[in-house]
């Protein structure tokens, strides 16, 4: 009997990504795909728990966000605001809806 489509889907590993990138426009916090708590935990293990100075948050490719992902974005925005800086925010439609509800 051939495997069902559900059997072919990965059962482990992140389905989204969060990374810090140095770009010509400054430092960017980039989120893409389905950003769940596991993805955020992997980001924090790699880059540390403290928010860093970013010039842009690029969430233009986000399809879904966990509470941990929303918290990560809010933390970076809050740190920027406390420092008197504005961070540009690029949103996907899904991100915009979720961010507005939070």
Domain spans of the chain?
Answer: 18-100
Q: DSSP for 76-90, please give it.
A: HHHHHHHTT---EEE
Per-residue pLDDT, averaged over 67-86, amounts to: 94
Whether residue 102 has pLDDT greater than 90 = no
> Count of residues for the chain?
102
Pick 20 or 13 by higher pLDDT. 20
CA distance readout (Å), 83 to 53, 56, 79, 80: 9, 15, 6, 5
What pLDDT digit, counting tens, does each position of 18-76 carry? 999 999 989 999 999 999 999 999 999 999 999 999 999 999 999 999 999 999 999 99
* Pick from 28, 31, 21, 17: nearest CA to 96: 31
Three-state DSSP at 55 gives coil
pTM of the model: 0.81
């Amino acid at each position: 009997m051939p495997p069902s489509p559900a059997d072919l889907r990965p059962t482990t590993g992140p389905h989204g990504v969060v990374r810090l990138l140095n770009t010509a426009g400054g430092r960017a916090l980039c989120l893409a795909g389905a950003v769940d708590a596991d993805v955020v935990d992997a980001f924090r293990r790699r880059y540390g728990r403290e928010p860093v100075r970013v010039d842009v948050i690029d969430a233009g490719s986000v399809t879904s966000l966990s509470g941990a992902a929303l918290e990560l974005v809010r933390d970076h925005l809050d740190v920027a605001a406390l420092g008197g800086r504005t961070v540009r925010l690029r949103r996907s439609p899904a991100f915009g809806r979720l961010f507005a509800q939070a």
